[in-house]
Amino acid sequence: MDSNLKVKLLSDKSRLQEIYDLRVNAYENSEQLAHVNKTVYPNGWSDDLDEKEGVFHWVIMDNNQIVASARLVILESLEETDGEFEDHIFLLPLERPFVYWSRLVVHPDYRKKGLRIELDKIRKKFLSENLQIKFALTSAVETRHKHLLKLGFEHLGNVMCDWNKTSREFGLFLYKNIEIV
């Protein structure tokens, strides 16, 4: 990662709109264009979890501009996720709380510079420092599967999800947050 870039936990909630706009920009410049773009999300891409208590947004800054971001949300119930895990509930630990590992985006001009890996490492570090969080759940398109497995996630299976009036296959992943002695 370039030495001019700084990773930080976002503390200024007034900058959330920049993240919402970055999400649209990043997806518009990817194979996900049909699902996330300025026509579908003219005010940026956000959801109810973005401002929930227990949400953490990490950002990578370049001269005070957010060029990448990722989110973790501490949750008690699967009902608070997008619903993609419902058919796999029997595979999930019963303990709570858990985190929903989501919304990783990198500005198109900053791709292939290791930013995605940095944001994944900082989120995994957060889990290792917060062992009261029992596990992490995420869903991902196929291009992310290999990297999630390298991070220690377990592939639970695939599911078809409706995404802006189209159906899309996502892989479901579980990371058990256990202390290694």
Position 1 scores a pLDDT of 63
Q: How far apart are CA 169 and CA 176, in angstroms?
A: 23
What is the topology classification, in CATH, of domain 5-176? Aminopeptidase (3.40.630)
- Where in the chain are the domains? 5-176
Kindly report whether the peptide bond that precedes residue 97 is cis, defined as omega within 30 degrees of 0: yes
Mean pLDDT of the residues in the chain: 90
Model pTM? 0.90
Rounded mean pLDDT of 57-79?
95
Helix (H, G, I), strand (E, B) or coil at 65: strand
> Please, which residues have CB within 8 angstroms of residue 53's CB and are 6 or more apart in sequence?
none
Residue 181 pLDDT greater than 50, yes or no: no
Length of the chain: 181
| Per-position DSSP letters for 3-49, written without gaps between them | TTEEEEE---GGGHHHHHHHHHHHHHTSTTTTTSSTTT-TT----GG
User: 38 vs 28, 67, 162, CA distance in Å?
Assistant: 8, 18, 19
Each residue of 133-145: pLDDT tens digit? 999 999 998 889 9
Rounded mean pLDDT of 6-18?
95
